[in-house]
Each structure stands twice: as C-alpha cells, then as structure tokens.
Structure 1
Amino acid sequence: MDGSLTFTNNISFLSWPVIGDNQTETDFYAVNLLLSCFYTVFLFPLGLVGNVLILLVNLDPCQRRSNPDLYFTNLALADLVLVLDSLIEVFNLSGHYYDDAVLCTCMALFLQINMYSSVFSLTWMSLDRCVALTGLSSRSLTATHNSLSHHSSLMCTAIWVAAIACTLLPFATAHVQHGWGRGFCFAAAAEVQWLEVTLGFAVPFCIMGVCYALIGHALLQSERPRRAKTLRMIAAAVAVFFVCWLPENVFIGVHLLCGATEPSRRRGNSTLWQQYPLTGHVVTLAACANSCLNPVVYGLLGKTFRRKLNLFLKHHLHCLAAPQRTTDMTRVPLRGVPERAVQTQHMCSPGSER
C-alpha cells in the first residue's frame, strides 16, 4: 500500500497541474505545443509523403508487384491513415476530446484498428523475410510459407480482419462489463490496455526480434555482398519499432501493474491521458512517429524500392512531357514522326511493360 502511494506521488509531477496553478499549466501547454509543432513540421510531412510514394509506386499499373510489394502497400495504407489521423491526436493538447465518451470511443476504435494493422503487417513481413532469407529446412513450414506467399492478398485481408477483431471484441466486452454509461470510454478499460500492451507490442516485438536475429545470423554466415548494409537496415527496423512504441507501452504497463487504471484509483471516468497529459502527449507523439519513419526504413532505404521509384518518376515525367512533344512533332512533316509519336503514346499507356 505504501509503495503504491509513493509511486503515485513520484509520478505526479507529470500529471496536469491542479486547478489554479496557472503558471505551471501554461508551461505544460507550451511544452506540448512545442512538441506538436516539431512533429507537424518534421515528422508529419515525412510520413505523409513517404507513405503516399510507396502506395503510388506499388500500385502503379506499369510496375510489376511481388508479394513483399503487396505487404509494403498494406503497411503503407495503415500507416498513412494513422499519420493523417495523428494531427487530431497531436493537437489535442489538453485532452479535451477524452471528455466526450462518443468522440473518445470513435477515435480509440479508429486508432486501434490501424495500429494493430500496422503492427501485424510488420510482424508478418518479418516472418516472411525470415523464412525466405534463412532457408529454414522444415518442409512443412516452408510449404506453408509458400502457400501463404501465393495468396498474399488473402494474408493482407487476414491482417485487417485480425486488427478489427482485436479492437471490436474488447470494445464489446468492455461495454458489457462496465456498462454503456455516458462518461465511459472503452480505451480506459484495463482489459483493453492489457491486450494492447501484450498483443500490440510485446508479442510482435519478440517475434520480430527472433526473426531478425535469425536473418542476421544467416547473413553473417553467407557470402552475399552488401550484408553489412542489410544488417544496418535490420537493426534500424527493430530500433525504430522499439523506440517508438516502448514509451507508450511502458506508460500504460506501469500504471496497469500499479493498479492506477482501476476505477477506484481514477478521477471519475478520466483516462490516463487526462490524468497525465504531458506524459501521455509525449508517448503518443512517439507512437505516431513510427508510422512516419516506417516508409524510410522499409522503403526509401531499400535499393529495390529506390530503383522502382526512379523508374516511376522517369516514366510519369516522360508521360507528362509526351503530349507536348507529340503536338510539336505533328506540326513538322518529317520522315518517321508518326512512328515516334505512336511509340511515345505506347510507352505512357497503362500496363505497358519496360
């Protein structure tokens, strides 16, 4: 009992100041605003442009898509939605939308579905790479992997179905147990938070860690060139996921272990983000940063995607300039002009092969 009270007192400086302490409240608000501006200026454009580029390149009808490309597209879609939605969360500086149970519930549902989809996509991509690159000798495992790889679109659908199930089932259970009161937001339920910490972070991180450790070991044993660069990319992928998601899960996990999320320990129906807005705001920004950095780690740093992006830009810039060149050529009666014009139109037609 004494230990829990001492812990609560030790973290109270991170909570919102008591009413009447205007100077401290102003300082906290200024810090939150500064962090939000930093995110909006530097990280948000990176996530927006990066995820849009991945979607455009991988969905381009002129490009051939492999199974990893489809997984990248699925990840970029979930991350793009999270990045766009993050502006609402980022500028919720004083946590006021948590006061409205309907708005809080809708935001929590939307965020959790896309969060689970992003994390599950990263986890499956790690498993897919591990089996493909390590050459595991288990015949049944390899056969299962090959079967799933041939149905990559079904795997992407299964990821979204799992993400929706992991959100809606706890949502329904929490409301059955706690009632449908006007001031209740299901995101504050301890059961929902336990599931988020375990299934949304701990289990995926362990799977990713094991997979990338096996990949790293296989690369060290192989004679493949550029293995140092590949290992750096692997380390960056694990580090970005860990650094971005660890603060929020530690924030939630510590309070779960100390019982701070129990209704008797909360101020009314307030959530942790209302009780500790400064800490909650920092960990939320860190979690949102993962969706902004994923395109860099999994796309822009990869040689294959950079090559496809270069072809995409060259092709579409060429197509934009082609109509003007075609018009100019038709004005000059030179030999061979019609064939060149037809060739230019063919190169820029959808589905053309290069």
Structure 2
Amino acid sequence: ISDFQFLLPVLFVWILNIKNISTTAYYDYTDHSMDYSEYATQCVKQSNREFRLWFMPTFYSIICFLGLVGNILVILTFFYFKRLKTMTDVYLLNLSFADLLFALSLPFWAANSMTEWVLGLAVCKMMHTIYKVSFYSSMLLLSCISVDRYFAIAKAVSAHRHRSQAVFFSKVSSAIIWVMAMIFSVPEMTYAAVNNKTCSLYTGTSDQLRVSIQISQIVLGFAIPLLIMGFCYSIIVYTLCQARNFERNKAIKVIFAVVAVFLFCQVPYNIVLFMTTADAAGGGSTDCNYDNNLLYANDVTQCVAFLRCCLNPFVYAFVGVKFRNDLLKLLKDWGCMSQEMFFRYTCGKRRSSAPTDTETTTTFSP
C-alpha cells in the first residue's frame, strides 16, 4: 500500500505531462499549418447547369417551331410558283434551306442541354457540323444578297445588261458557298466529342487550337459579312436618298430592318465569343464569378444568335408584297385560308402595289 501511495503522485504528474504534450502538439500544428490559399479551388457551376435545364430547351423549342414553319413556307412558295427568276430569289431559297437545316438540329441541342448524351459520337459530330455549315452558309448568302442589291440599285445599268446570266451565276455561287461552308466546318467534324456524357466541341483540344477555331469563326462568320453588308447597304441607302421614288422611304426602312436584325442577333454573341477567346488565350480566368457570368452570357447570346433561322424569312421574304400575296394564295389553294380572307388581305392593297412591283423585284428588295 505504501508503494501504491508513492506511485499515485508520480502517475498524476505523468498524466499532466501527456496532456501538456498533446496540447502543445496541437498548437504547434495549427501555427505551422499549410497555406491553402495558394492553391486553386474548383469553381462550382451548378447554378448555370440549373439555368440551362429550363432556359435552353424552352428557347430551342420556340426557335425550332418558328424556324420550321417560316422556312418551309418560303420553300413551298418558291417551288409552287416557280419564283426563281432573280439572283435574290436563288439566294433566298438557299438561305431558307440553310436555316431549315439548322432548325432540324435544334432538338438535339435541347437534348444535350437537358440530359446525358446517349446518341453516340457520330450524331454528336453531325450536330456540331450541321450548325456550322448552316451558320457559314447563311452568313455568306446574306453577304451575296447585299452584293446583289448593291449592283441592282447602285449599278442598275450594268446589272440590267447582265440580267440573263444572273440566275445562272447565282446558282453557281450558291453551290460554291455550300462547299466553302463545309470546308469551314472541318474543325467541328474533327474535334466534336463526347466528354463526361456531354457532346462538346473542344474536348481534348489545346487552348491554342481552340483560340484559332474561335478567331476564324469571328472573322469568317461575322467580321467579313458585316463589312460587306455595311458597305453595300450604305451605298444603297445613299443611292436611294438621291432618287425621287415614292417607295424610297419604305425601301430604306426595309434595309435598316435587315441590318438591325443582323446586328441584334450576331453582335452580342460575337462579343461574348471574343471575350471567351481572349480568356482562353490568356490561360483561363481564376475568377469563378467571371466564369459563371461568361457562361450565362454565352447561353443567352447564343440563343439570340439562333433566332436568325426564324427571323430571316420575315426580313428577307415576307416583307415583299408580291411574295406575301403568293404565300396567301398558296394557303388559299391548300384550304388553309378562306376566299373571303384572301381577298381581304390582297385586294385592299393590290391597287396601291400593282403599278410598281418594286418591293420584290431587283430594284428595292433587300
């Protein structure tokens, strides 16, 4: 017992020492801990994914429906009345085919934004390729329409001299445009891939290659068409202002509408695309809020750019009186419109528009 009584103080002191050692070790660990602020943290983009789940399918469905209806009506009207009589007619028909092709691919884009991609690599490549072929062909065709309008109005004498060869030239140039659009779309055919069950374009590509592809898209699909359209339509407006035709103001309004739609659809998306390209060229951003905001901006402006496929029929085809009358006659012949309604929409305007069919001929149509 005496030995045990002697050991009690020793045991008590030993326990206190262990407690001090553990406490000291804890504080030493805290004071000399590693600074994790130097390491990049993962940027959470869950809010953007949730936004895409409802925003992208909704707008893709609306654009797909309007694009299918508008462009099918344009194509049917051209073939039903055999309206391929001018260069603009040929370009408008090809433009409708390009926009219709893109509208048919929108359900795949909607599916890719909602669920996991299960359609395989071939369909993934096809979706991106169809988009770029439609995009480049539309931009080049819009440029050709503006050039045709420039020669028809600003160079009316020389244009009338070569009128018999114009339709043939427009068919050849349209074929060349489709070939060029497919050549420009080779990167989409090559680099589109399925990554993490999502169909994307830049999977496995270097930042330098991504920057090159995006710069080529900005230059070929926006900058060059913008310069061509800006030059041609500015000369056209100047020429119309010198003329003394009673339909001059209406023609100028149509041209402004064409340019405004192009700028509204393409400028915001190309600005965001330029910012994304600059970000990739600089090695990427470390600001998570900036990345998320850029994703939101890309989704919204891309949907606005997609609107071109359903707006082109209205600003290029339905704006003409003759084309609208042909469309109404087509609907009447197919039983989609009554005889009374047809005369209500056509006879009231026929007296004012019959003497001069300038809205859809080579004089004033955009």
Match of 1:66 in 2: 85
Counterparts of 1:280 and 1:132, CA distance in 2: 38
Contact 1:32 1:278 in 2 (8 A): no
Q: Which amino acid aligns with 1:222?
A: A
Deviation at 1:134, TM superposition (A): 1.3
RMSD, matched Cα: 3.9
1:66 counterpart SS class: coil
Deviation at 1:147, TM superposition (A): 4.4
After TM superposition, list the pairs within 5 Å mapping 1:60-209 onto structure 2. Answer: 60=80, 62-67=81-86, 68-93=88-113, 97=117, 104-135=124-155, 147-168=165-186, 170=187, 183-184=203-204, 189-209=210-230
Deviation at 1:87, TM superposition (A): 3.0
Counterparts of 1:315 and 1:66, CA distance in 2: 22
Counterparts of 2:163 and 2:140, CA distance in 1: 16
Larger-Rg structure? 2
Contact 1:29 1:93 in 2 (8 A): no
After TM superposition, list the pairs within 5 Å mapping 1:1-354 onto structure 2. Answer: 18=44, 24=47, 29-30=50-51, 33-34=54-55, 36-38=57-59, 40-41=61-62, 43-60=63-80, 62-67=81-86, 68-93=88-113, 97=117, 104-135=124-155, 147-168=165-186, 170=187, 183-184=203-204, 189-258=210-279, 260-261=280-281, 265=284, 276-317=294-335
Aligned residue pair count: 283
Match of 1:332 in 2: none
Are the structure 2 counterparts of residues 224 and 90 from structure 1 closer, same or farther at C-alpha, using a change threshold of 3 Å?
A: farther
Match of 1:348 in 2: none
Match of 1:352 in 2: none
Are the structure 2 counterparts of residues 247 and 64 from structure 1 closer, same or farther at C-alpha, using a change threshold of 3 Å?
A: closer
Q: Which 5+ residue runs of structure 1 have no aligned equivalent?
A: 1-15, 176-181, 268-272, 322-354
Q: TM-score, normalized by length of structure 2?
A: 0.66
Q: Which moved more, 1:225-234 or 1:196-205?
A: 225-234
Contact 2:153 2:239 in 1 (8 A): yes
Q: Which amino acid aligns with 1:88?
A: F
1:168-218, Cα deviation, whole Å (9 max, x unpaired): 2x568979xxxxxx9436997221111100010011011111111111111
Deviation at 1:226, TM superposition (A): 1.8
1:189 counterpart SS class: helix
Contact 1:236 1:297 in 2 (8 A): yes
Q: Which amino acid aligns with 1:57?
A: T
Q: Which 5+ residue runs of structure 2 have no aligned equivalent?
A: 1-41, 193-201, 340-366
Q: Which amino acid aligns with 1:201?
A: F
Counterparts of 1:102 and 1:63, CA distance in 2: 37
Identity of aligned residues (%): 28
Deviation at 1:149, TM superposition (A): 4.0
Counterparts of 1:203 and 1:95, CA distance in 2: 36
Counterparts of 2:162 and 2:215, CA distance in 1: 31
Higher RCO (CA-CA < 8 Å; seq separation 6+): 1
2:315 counterpart SS class: helix
Counterparts of 1:186 and 1:74, CA distance in 2: 35
Q: TM-score, normalized by length of structure 1?
A: 0.68
Q: Which amino acid aligns with 1:189?
A: R
Contact 1:216 1:231 in 2 (8 A): yes
Counterparts of 1:94 and 1:314, CA distance in 2: 40
Counterparts of 2:236 and 2:219, CA distance in 1: 24
Counterparts of 2:292 and 2:121, CA distance in 1: 13
Deviation at 1:45, TM superposition (A): 2.6
Counterparts of 1:39 and 1:173, CA distance in 2: 25
Q: Which moved more, 1:149-158 or 1:127-136?
A: 149-158
Deviation at 1:246, TM superposition (A): 1.4
Counterparts of 1:104 and 1:173, CA distance in 2: 11
Q: Which amino acid aligns with 1:65?
A: L
